[in-house]
Chains A and B, each alone.
Chain A
């Protein structure tokens, strides 16, 4: 600070100088703390608001999904695939040696115990975020019978595991629980 000249008053003892310096430093520090504290609300206002957070979990009625069918639904503004696998699809997924896959996971890792036919995954390709095909009726499922991403050709199997193409990971399984046999709560 350039105010050394001011603080060196005629009557300044060493103790006086130190006490005065302390006042300036304390005043400036409190000003700084106040400024920083004011930043907190200014920054926090950008995080998700209460109405958005209120929609962070979604309940889905799965009673109408027949074996072999899938639905696309929305959770946290992103697509989710809920698929009722046929016994053949379950068998196909279980017959693969999971340890040899790019992202080694078994079907059991990706479904709830006793509910191996309910495959619930995000509909977001792990490559660049496109929505893969295969959940809608008549859509291409790819050579492994799961999902096919049209953007860059990633192919997923019936456990939605990545088998071919550029995607690095399996389709993500969102956190969910079975509220009852027919209702799933995601998030």
Chain B
């Protein structure tokens, strides 16, 4: 039975697939998949920027993270939330308790309160245990929450850096080849963005837009790097601990496996 019906079923599927294949090939010849502006002009994130946390021994540079936080606070936080981060987490960047408390207290958006008895909504100053309050953005576009942005995009920190420094005017070649693909009003051309046209205007435009308290020169490139590093930390605060634990575990496993091999060899030695 199986040997009769099996081949029949097999040939049936094969016929259906080859039919699909044939139809597909004919279609492809008649009207090939059109090339698109995105296919031709989208760019992968720049890989030539080195970050301190790259590689298996990588670590965060706390001063850079603090600078990145400053860029987030003064620039990004006008539109973008960071809701996975609580103020207390900032202690990881090297801020002491009083500084964390002060940052929380002075944060522009206040924590929401709700009086269950009167039904009244109110506000209070943020506490270190509070998460950074959500930002509600009424303009065009939907600024994504940035907490996990470096994990949610191919290229991670490199993507953020490339996007922030990648704004440019639309190439004439693109307009010539795809006249319909001109960047619409209110959008901005950026070859690192998935569909080339992003609703966010270039956020980092001038050197010195942020005044770093550690004296680092705030070039656009520097600010983009710093905020990309900061957003890597927000996406994965446990990165350093993970890598450190990893080395200890691998070291232990290497020793245990070597011994297991010797033990296995000894046991089998008498057999062959």
Contacts and interface: CB of A to CB of B under 8 A. Distances in A.
Contacts of B255: 30
A34 B263 CA distance: 17
A103 interface: no
Contact of A23 (B86, B88, B253, B266): B266
User: Which residue, B129, B252, B269, has most C-beta atoms of chain A within 10 A?
Assistant: B129
Contacts of A6: 267, 270
Contacts of B252: 30, 33-34, 37
A66 interface: no
Given A51-B129, A55-B129, A30 B256 contact: yes
Contacts of B270: 6, 9-10
B18 to A, nearest CB: 52
Nearest to B130: A54
Given A9-B269, A9-B270, A23 B129 contact: no
B259 interface: yes
A23 B269 contact: no
Nearest to A54: B129
A7 B262 CA distance: 14
Contacts of B253: 34
B15 interface: no
Given A34-B252, A34-B256, A55-B129, A24 B88 contact: no
Interface residues of A, number: 20
A7 B271 CA distance: 11
A26 interface: yes
Interface string A1-31: 0010011011000000000100110111011
Interface in A23-52: 23-24, 26-28, 30-31, 33-34, 37, 50-51
A35 B88 CA distance: 34
Contacts of B260: 27, 31
Interface string B67-95: 00000000000000000001010000000
A45 B270 CA distance: 46
Nearest to A12: B270
B128 interface: yes
Contacts, number: 42
Contacts of B256: 27, 30-31, 34
A145 to B, nearest CB: 27
A20 B266 contact: yes
A33 B263 CA distance: 17
A23 B263 contact: yes
Contacts of B267: 3, 6, 24
A6 B269 CA distance: 9
A26 B129 contact: no
Nearest to B252: A34
A9 B269 CA distance: 9
A34 B251 CA distance: 11
Interface string B234-257: 000000000000000000110110
Contacts of A9: 269-270
23 contacts: A3-B267, A6-B267, A9-B270, A20-B266, A23-B262, A23-B263, A23-B266, A24-B263, A24-B266, A24-B267, A26-B263, A27-B259, A27-B260, A27-B262, A28-B263, A30-B256, A30-B259, A31-B260, A34-B253, A37-B252, A51-B129, A54-B86, A54-B88
Interface of B: 86, 88, 128-129, 252-253, 255-256, 259-260, 262-263, 266-267, 269-270
Interface of A: 3, 6-7, 9-10, 20, 23-24, 26-28, 30-31, 33-34, 37, 50-51, 54-55
Closest 8 CB pairs of A and B: A27-B259, A54-B129, A27-B263, A30-B256, A9-B270, A20-B266, A54-B88, A23-B262
Given A24-B266, A54-B129, 17 more contacts: A3-B267, A6-B270, A9-B269, A9-B270, A20-B266, A24-B263, A26-B259, A26-B263, A27-B259, A30-B259, A33-B252, A34-B252, A34-B256, A51-B86, A54-B86, A54-B128, A55-B129
